[in-house]
Amino acid sequence: MKSSGTPGPPGAPKSIVDEKATGLPVFKTWPAVYLFVFATFVVWVLLLAALTGIFS
């Protein structure tokens, strides 16, 4: 791994194990995180649709 200040970009690629770990207490894998984000998006759309339906 190159150190900061040497020619070329520092920070060599992390190990595959590090890349797969999210470090989060609930969502241990990245697909789980993406699924959570997608689910949150769907919930937002549903809430906005409900708001539209109630007050239109």
Partner 1 sequence: MLGIAAYGVWRTRGQRGLSGYLKGSGTTGWVTIGLSVMATQASAITFMSTPGQGYEDGLGFVQNYFGMPLALILIAAVFLPMFRRLNVYTAYEFLGRRFDTKTRLLGAGLFLLQRGLGAGITIYAPAIVLSTVFGWPLELTIILSGLLVIIYTVTGGNEAVSVTQKYQMLVIFGGMATALVVLLARLSGHLAFTDALTLAGTFHKLNAVDFSPDLRRRYTVWSGLFGGLCLSLSYFGTDQSQVQRYISGASLRESRLGLMFNAVCKIPMQFLILLLGVLMFVFYQFETPPVFFNQSSWQEAAARDGAKFHAVEQKFAAACAQKEQAIRAWLEARRRHDPAAETAARAQTLAAHRQSEEARAEAGTALRQADVHAQTNDGDYVFITFILAQLPHGVIGLLVAAFFAAALSSKAAELSALGSTTSVDFYRHLLKRDAGEAHYVKASRWFTALWGVVALGFALFAHLQENLIQAVNIVGSVFYGVVLGLFLVAFFVRWVRGTAVFFAALLAQELVFCLYFTLNISYLWYNLIGCAACVLFSLLIQAAGFKRKEST
Could you list the residues that contact partner 1 (CB under 8 A)? 4-14, 18-19, 21-23, 30, 33-34, 37-38, 40-41, 44-45, 48-49, 51-52, 54-56
Cα-Cα-Cα-Cα torsion 29, 33, 34, 38, nearest 10 degrees, comes to 150
- Closest approach, Cβ 25 to partner 1, in A, equals 13
Of the two residues 12 and 26, which places its CB atom closer to partner 1 in the complex? Answer: 12
Residues in CB range of 3: below 8 A, 6 or more apart? 10
Q: Which is nearer to partner 1, 26 or 40 (CB)?
A: 40
**Cβ atoms of residues 40 and 34 within 8 Å:** no
